[in-house]
Chains A and B, each alone.
Chain A
Amino acid sequence: MSHKWGMVIDLDRCTGCEACVVACHAENNIGTAGPDQASRGRAKHWIRVERYWEGEFPNARVRFQPVLCQQCDDAPCEPVCPTYASYHTPEGLNAQVYNRCIGTRFCANACPYEVRFLNFYNPQWDKPLHLQLNPDVSVRSVGIMEKCTFCVQRIRAAEIQAESEKRELKDGEFNPACVQSCAPKAMVFGDLNDPNSEVSRLARSNRATKLLAELGTKPSISYLQQDSWQNGKNG
């Protein structure tokens, strides 16, 4: 049975600690922009924790919403790329093929979630971060787009391991870096084609919603939240 990788993010559990952001940077060789470039909007965060405030001080309440590539089934970024650099894999991932990318940036403009990033310069790492690069992940050069891959290197490693042991992948056998590092266990990753996986079970929850579902992009990520979250009555 082919896999359909998906994720569930429980917004009622998220504490906004941003461990996922740090883990993602470390796992995926994402360069650091530095304070000057970051203030100009050049920081690259494949996953970010969006903060929204409700109410006015002192009765304000903050809401966290981790946003990463939604790995859409009908992804607006894919058809617009003239060189097939943004490409839909058979397992339903929105892959970014770095070597094909010529940097039109059309994908980033078409993406409603703003989860695609341009390498404005060749990547750099503040010392000693340059010593911890992940050998499983390629480093992206200047002028090309990059984005969350659902840690495709971990998916491939686990698939190869399972194949060599002639067995099926087990649910929860591996996780992307963000899920692995989530202390309150707000994020769950797995195979949506397996009806018994934890991610499938949670995605069927009546708390589940999709981000910007009205656009018809069919994201692979579900957000769990109480109804009152949406109505703004809680708190």
Chain B
Amino acid sequence: MAKTAEQIRTDLLRPLFYSGPGYWLAVAVTGSMVLAGVFAFGYQVYHGLGVWGLDWPVFWAFDITNFVFWIGISHAGTLISAILRLANAGWRRPVTRCAEAITVFALSIGAIIPICHLGRPWLFYWLVPYPSERHIWPNFRSPLLWDFFAILTYLTGSSLFLLLPIIPDAAAARDLAHGWRKKLYGILSLGWQGNPKQWHRLESAMHIMAIAIIPVAVSVHTIVSWDFAMTPVPGWHSTIFGPYFVVGAIFSGIAALILAMAFLRKFLHLEEYLQPIHFDHLGKLLLTFSLLWLYFTFAEHLTAWYGNDVSEMNVLWATIRGTFAPLFWIMVACNLIIPFPLLAIKKLRTITGTVIASITIVAGMWIERFLIIVPTLEHKFLPYAWGHYTPTWVEITLMVAGFGMMALLYLVFSKLVPMISMWELEAGVRKAPIIRRRAVSFEAAATAGAGVGQPEPLATDVRP
């Protein structure tokens, strides 16, 4: 990448200040998807949960599928970005910001869904431990409460992780902007002047956050899996669920990241920044997780089958050769059979190849979550109490609204903040000597830091 710092700034700041008619069309389409969801939710609150397809005994279906799906998608960003930062992978630089943004937005959607799914959504705040007139704390033994705290922690952490590296870029945009944008970037840049002390603090903060966010991310999806695994119910009560869910989450998350990158590349004209090599690297990662997913799915179902417990077998047979068999085998095709050749064969692991694989994987992982939830609830212990589930338009609209909201948030964000971290990219371009000790890093930064936002490479940086 032979771009100079000036070119990088021109290329990456341009989309902030100029938007074409295509952009507004996209905003209109995704915005109406969100509005449809708001209408569906209002309809549900007015009439009651009966407008959903839920029944006795299937009390969770599309709602919790979407919840687990979006929390899963959120695992791409921050986790991948943190691992790549800690591993000092040079190719990460153009990828981190769009990954971190996915996390914050997907997590926000994932956090809204459980509120919408409540029988009495207006009382969701009863999960918050605060001194109330009811003189009662929430039940800390409930996995739902663990969820509440895990998601809140992760949302706080990943928001910080997204906002911290925006500071120098916001400072650069602040110096170009006028009006409300100048105010916005003034707030986002937190008085950034680009002096060595500030660079050092940013470096330390990023390093701490990168380390701290990894266990948080792993714990979040583990706890989501415990919503199921803690119940004595066939198909759910499984010790493997924690890691199984984490792997599935990262799997779907990488796929979502590849899709987001492909969109940005095309519509923000970032062809020179998001290069085939990035899709190639992420494609390899996706392949690894596809195989890990196969391993976990196989281990989970083999154990159930070999144990031959009656109730476990009822759920297993319903899933793989009963009413859910078509969905199950579509899932296997989406998560393994289609993506495997696309990602394993070097010639096919192109941008198009990885994008096709990612689309099938995102669909496949949605189906996977549905297949974890519904077949179990339809086939619990007493055969007399078995049931059947079909979704209604309300649930389908809410699902569509989730996707619309993700796209809308991403569209708006791409007009507010450069979607690629400019200062990190510049740090990768500059031909400074590798500086290993922090004391030297200070000194070098002091001499080099004349211009606003002129960054010094991280103390242990290795350029690609």
Binding site for B on A (CB under 8 A): 37, 40-44, 48, 50-52, 65, 67, 76, 79-84, 100-106, 108-110, 112-114, 117-122, 142-145, 212, 215-217
Contact = CB atoms under 8 A, between A and B. Distances in A.
A217 B148 CA distance: 27
A37 B47 CA distance: 14
B127 interface: yes
B302 interface: no
Contacts of B117: 104
Nearest to B227: A106
B119 interface: yes
10 contacts: A41-B388, A67-B384, A80-B144, A82-B144, A83-B127, A105-B119, A108-B57, A113-B382, A113-B385, A118-B54
Nearest to A43: B56
Interface of B: 47-50, 54-60, 114, 117-120, 123-124, 126-127, 134, 136, 138-139, 141-145, 148, 227, 230-233, 377, 380-385, 387-388
A48 to B, nearest CB: 8
B127 A82 contact: yes
B59 A109 contact: yes
A44 B387 CA distance: 14
A8 to B, nearest CB: 19
- Interface majority SS on B: helix, strand, loop or mixed? loop
B48 A119 contact: yes
B233 A105 contact: no
A84 B48 contact: no
B382 A119 contact: no
Contacts of A67: 382, 384-385
B120 A80 contact: no
Nearest to B57: A114
A215 B120 contact: no
A118 B120 contact: no
Nearest to A39: B55
Contact of B144 (A43, A52, A104, A119): A104
Contacts of A145: 119
B60 A105 contact: yes
Given A79-B141, A106-B227, 16 more contacts: A40-B55, A44-B56, A67-B385, A76-B231, A83-B138, A83-B139, A100-B136, A101-B119, A101-B120, A104-B119, A105-B54, A109-B60, A112-B380, A114-B57, A142-B48, A145-B119
Contacts of B136: 83-84, 100
B380 A41 contact: no
Nearest to A145: B119
The 7 closest A-B pairs by CB, nearest first: A103-B119, A143-B119, A41-B55, A120-B50, A50-B384, A114-B385, A105-B59
A42 B50 contact: yes
A234 to B, nearest CB: 20
B120 A112 contact: no
Contact of A103 (B120, B139, B141): B120
Contacts of A43: 56
B88 to A, nearest CB: 42
B54 A110 contact: no
Given A84-B136, A109-B60, A121-B47, A144 B119 contact: yes
Nearest to B389: A41
> Most A CB atoms within 10 A — which of B119, B124, B134, B148?
B119
Nearest to A120: B50
Contacts of A41: 55-58, 387-388
Contacts of B144: 80, 82, 104, 106
A42 B60 contact: no
A111 to B, nearest CB: 8
Contacts of B227: 106
B142 A120 contact: no
A126 B117 CA distance: 29
A119 B143 CA distance: 23
A156 B55 CA distance: 32
A121 B232 contact: no
Given A50-B384, A105-B59, A112-B380, A118 B231 contact: no
B48 A121 contact: yes
B42 to A, nearest CB: 15
A101 to B, nearest CB: 7
A60 B357 CA distance: 53
A120 B59 contact: no
Contacts of A110: 230-233
Contacts of B148: 82
